[in-house]
A and B are shown apart, each in its own frame.
Chain A
Amino acid sequence: MGVALMGWLAGKTVRLVGESAAIAAALKAQGAALVAEGDCDVLIHVAAPQPARPVHELSHAEWRAALDAGLDQRFLQARDFAAARRSAGKGGAVVYVGAPEQALGSDQAAAAGALINLTKTLGVEWARDGIRVNSVLTFDQGETLGDLVAYLASDYAAYVTGAVMGVGLDDG
């Protein structure tokens, strides 16, 4: 079944950082308006999987680049998003999307592990700002990923925060 037009995100503005055709399609199909910058209701941050290499062959600069993309940028952009939401007096939702924790290199294991506990932490720290934070860690690039992320971003998931999940069986 293709994505039904249920309007989960009708009237919401969403900033999608990173590339995901499935997520972009699902967001639009559910009524979201994608915005490139400025205040928005939802921040979705997608980090592309990096090639897995033996950790002892990584230079510090390569290691740092992986952690910057997989962790630092994710935190900093969410921090700015949450600050803008608080200024606007509105709630919001953050969804992090990336590869499974143990499926690639040690750089990914470190970044994803940190992201998992960051998700749980920010989900509670910002709960009373009405800002929810969740993560989906998977290689899935199909419609289920798009629909799951759109659902988590929507008010239908109003009681889901600090949750980390995968899609298929690639996360264990």
Chain B
Amino acid sequence: MPVPDNHIVAMPPPFEEPPYPADVFAGQTVLVSGGGTGMGLAMARAFAQGGAQVAVMGRSLEKAQEGAGKIATLGVRVHAMSCDVRLPDQVAAAFDEAEAVLGPVTLLANNAGANFPVLAEDISVNAWNAVTRIAIDGTFLCSTEFARRLIARGQGGVVVNNSAQYIWTGFPGDAHSAAAKTAQATMTKKMAREWAPHGIRVNAIAAGFFPHETSTAGRREGRTEVLQNMIPAGRTGSIHEFGWLSAMTCTPFFAALTGQVILQDGGESLRRSLMMPDYVPPREREEGPWGWR
């Protein structure tokens, strides 16, 4: 169903009008994991709009390079690298490479993630390990590598983590990601406390549905159009407003902001009704947004 005409849908300014000056990150380098596509690319582009140099990291160098090309059109220096964030040596090497090419990394966006809705009993050990370790170990390895370097230099910095709107409710049919994304949010708060004395801030965005070319959740007849009316805000998110909020947490505007997990989901996770449709377990759903089998 389309959103009724008498409903009011709040819209963000267009991509060309970012909320911060074009030099807000001037002289700084941001490292974005999974920055070549989707939400990571949106983060990277938002940082570039503030003048940051961008190190784009991806498991696939080809995708990272492709994303880097899109970021470079915003007029900043960009460097693409391949890295598996689950492997400490690769993470350290990627930071070495980014800093050798672009200079000290003072901003970090932990976005790398894998997610595919699947019944819990169908999650293989490999699938469980992939989804949880990219988000949990990857965020640990990248954040600690980042912090150790900053602390050694006596320099402050900011981390922003891409978490999810289902971290407080669970997500039946997506157990690995439900676990992984909540771990990211809770470690955000603890790392913020541990690194506050070093001038390192850490925040997370609990992001809702921001359709993009690689999202799996929008794969449905009629594309994402049919999903607009499902969300209280009357629309799915525009990916640039996710990028902006992520980057905003790293600006001097929010210089005191740390340890925060900010929900940005158009009210999607807060839907609640006295009367709801009959409960159908994920296993018996003929049609999730994804189709379960």
Contact = CB atoms under 8 A, between A and B. Distances in A.
- A interface majority secondary structure: loop
B258 A4 contact: no
Contact of A128 (B12, B196, B234): B234
Interface in A129-172: 129-132, 140, 142-145, 147-148, 151, 154-169, 171-172
Contacts of A165: 260-262
B82 to A, nearest CB: 32
Nearest to B249: A148
A78 to B, nearest CB: 16
A132 B192 CA distance: 28
Contact of B13 (A132, A145, A148, A155): A155
B251 to A, nearest CB: 8
Interface in B238-283: 238, 241-242, 244-245, 248, 252-267, 270-272
A5 to B, nearest CB: 9
Interface in B213-251: 232-234, 237-238, 241-242, 244-245, 248
B291 interface: no
Nearest to A93: B10
A94 to B, nearest CB: 12
A91 B235 CA distance: 15
Interface of B: 3-4, 7-13, 19-21, 24, 189, 192-193, 196, 208, 232-234, 237-238, 241-242, 244-245, 248, 252-267, 270-272
A169 B253 contact: no
24 contacts: A4-B21, A120-B270, A123-B270, A124-B232, A124-B267, A124-B271, A128-B4, A130-B8, A131-B8, A140-B256, A144-B253, A151-B19, A155-B10, A156-B13, A158-B241, A159-B208, A159-B241, A159-B265, A160-B262, A161-B266, A165-B262, A166-B259, A168-B256, A169-B196
Given A124-B232, A144-B255, A158 B10 contact: yes
Residue with the greatest number of chain B CB neighbours at <10 A, chosen from A3, A130, A160, A161? A160
Contact of A159 (B196, B233, B270): B233
A159 B266 contact: yes
A8 interface: yes
A162 B267 contact: yes
A127 B20 contact: no
Contacts of B256: 140, 142-145, 167-168
